[in-house]
Structure 1
Amino acid sequence: MKKIIFLILISFSSFAQKDKNELTETINTFFEGLNKKDTSLLSRVIHEDCSLNTVLIKADNNSELKKEEIANFLKSIGSIPAGMKIEERILSIELMQDEALASAWVPYEFYVNDKFSHKGTNLITLVKTNDFWKITAIIDTRKK
């Protein structure tokens, strides 16, 4: 009996680690696509119904919510001039998961042409469909 319980625990742990690896890979692919300005790479990991929102933190600590359509986001990334370098540096990824639903807390710093622009945190929601994790929502904070 102990052997069966042990095998079940190992199997559960293996599945959990596999999902964690896949979630991390999906998130890393998103930021790789962003940093490379590669909309086809971004599109691979973004769900077609993905929602994008930003909470702008103002100097007086008030905030403003901005919504962006996924098509406009991809168009804006694709239209960044070749000579302009953007880089969103991920500081950490904290994952939470329940079956086919997951979220990631992802603090970052953003640079344009190697110059600091802003920092904040991404809250990313992911759903597993057809054995693939897709990003269904991103809300981030932006502050100087």
Structure 2
Amino acid sequence: MHARSSRLSRLALVAGAVFATLGVSVVHASTPEEQAVLAPFQALLDGIGKRDHAMMREALLPGGMITLKRGDKITQLHFDAFIDHIPTTGNTQLAERIHDPLVRIDDDIAIIWAPYEFLVDGKLDHCGTDIAHLVKHNGKWLVAGIADNQHASCAGK
């Protein structure tokens, strides 16, 4: 019975993280177009949590890049290389939650600036700021590029 209870607890933790993450962008988007801009970025974050490479790729413009700033080190990866670094198996639960996103749109380009918290197994691991730029391609918003930084000292850690 203990193993089943443990599995249910983990499932509840994952579900809570997913629902909390899903609710973040919708609450702060004040227009339907802002919600549409946030949707692919949130899908990318959800894909990371689900370890779903196809879900991640669907949100991204092919050929885009991510720039990661970790202390004094800057790493740039094409989206495919970034996705390949996300494991598709494992028991470690990953969740990135954005809050208070700033969204700016001009016709078929947009940006998102959002503070985030990254959780590992439900515990705060690090925080920082995500910046994403998006383009509307064939009527669909896609993430064209991402930059983020990372802080080890976060409120609540």
Give the TM-score of the pair, scaled to structure 2: 0.73
Task: Summarize the alignment of residues 100-139 of structure 1 with structure 2, pairs less than 5 Å apart.
Answer: 100-139=108-147
Provide the aligned length of Structure 1 versus Structure 2: 123
Pairing 1:21–2:32 present: no
Counterpart for residue 86 of structure 1? 94
Q: Which amino acid aligns with 2:150?
A: R
Note the residue ranges of structure 1 that are not aligned, 5 or more in a row. Answer: 1-15, 58-62
How many angstroms does 1:32 deviate by?
Answer: 1.1
- Residues 1-57 of structure 1 deviation map (CA, whole Å, 9 limit, x = unaligned): xxxxxxxxxxxxxxx933212112222211111111111111111010111101113
Q: Which amino acid aligns with 2:149?
A: T
Pairing 1:69–2:78 present: yes
Moved over 6 A (4+): none
The structure where strand makes up a greater share of residues is 1
CA RMSD in angstroms comes to: 1.6
Aligned match of 1:96 in 101, 104, 107?
104
Question: Percent identity of the aligned residues?
Answer: 22
The structure number with the bigger radius of gyration is: 1
Report the Cα distance in structure 1 between the residues aligned to 2:127 and 2:91, rounded to whole angstroms.
Answer: 22
Q: Which amino acid aligns with 1:70?
A: F
Pairing 1:46–2:55 present: no
